[in-house]
Structure 1
């Protein structure tokens, strides 16, 4: 039994270290209709090189997005039209942030940092499903593309470069 526990423990440690080797969201579940603070965790650079840019695509249904500036980084928000109109505080919202880019900084490979934004999860998003936030991490002469979204029935752990995911909980 002890060897079984050691094997299970080794699997858990290896599994969690693999899970923390890519860009993830700090909070991976939130209720539809709520304001969500997204904290993208960047645990390392690309092949030992410093991270110089982080770009995140905002999925449909995440509206009224506002990024947090980072000292030493240039912040750019690319806006566009939503696929449909959403209601927010009794007003129709038809466009907003589609991508957030932090660039021009330098995050050495041996350090960790977080990139933050907030937005509202539309009330008509489907509870129980997962929204994905594809991220491109640029480094000095290299890039990591955390953009893979699992197909229906596919295990997220099978992906080499998974996009950070947010499980949608029922409205509270």
Structure 2
């Protein structure tokens, strides 16, 4: 019985290994019109090398982005115009953060870390759909691009380098 349980546990661990090989978001669903704390989990480096930069692209409809600084890393944001104006707390927002970059750090391949930012999800985002945050992970000369977004009807598991995403839930 012990061998069966060990084998089952090993199978489950190896069977879910693909999910742990990619950069993912800790919480993978959020309601439109809400505040969302995005926690990007970086489980490994690139080709065995230490991660030295993480860049995340902010999708349209994700506004009021506030990244969390990380000790030992340089934090920068790139701002730009939104495709349309958004309302937030009685204000009209036409520009905001389009990319968040953490760089200059050193996350060895054998360690794991998290990169955090807080956002507001616009109330008019389409509930029931996925929203993706493409990520580029740099490791010195090596780079992993977690930027693939599945086409309509395509299974995310079929992608080699899927972008982390969240399922948009109806407004509460």
Which category of TM-score, normalised to the shorter sequence, fits these structures?
A: over 0.9
Query: Runs of 4 or more off by more than 2 Å in structure 1?
Result: 5-15
Question: 1:17-72 deviations in whole A, cap 9, x for unaligned?
Answer: 11010100000000000000000000000011000000000000000000000000
Unaligned runs of 5+ in 1: none
For residue 76 of structure 1, what is the aligned residue in structure 2?
Answer: 76
Partner of 1:90: 90
Partner of 2:144: 144
Structure 2 gaps of 5+ residues are none
Q: What is the aligned partner in structure 2 of residue 43 from structure 1?
A: 43
Q: In the aligned structure 1, how far is the partner of 2:119 from the partner of 2:129?
A: 18
Q: Which residue does the alignment assign to 2:16?
A: 16
1:12 deviates by 3.6
Shift of 1:141: 1.2
Distance in 2 of aligned mates of 1:40 and 1:133: 10
What is the TM-score with the length of structure 2 in the denominator?
Answer: 0.94
Task: Give the structure-1-normalised TM-score.
Answer: 0.94
> Pairwise CA RMSD of aligned residues?
1.6
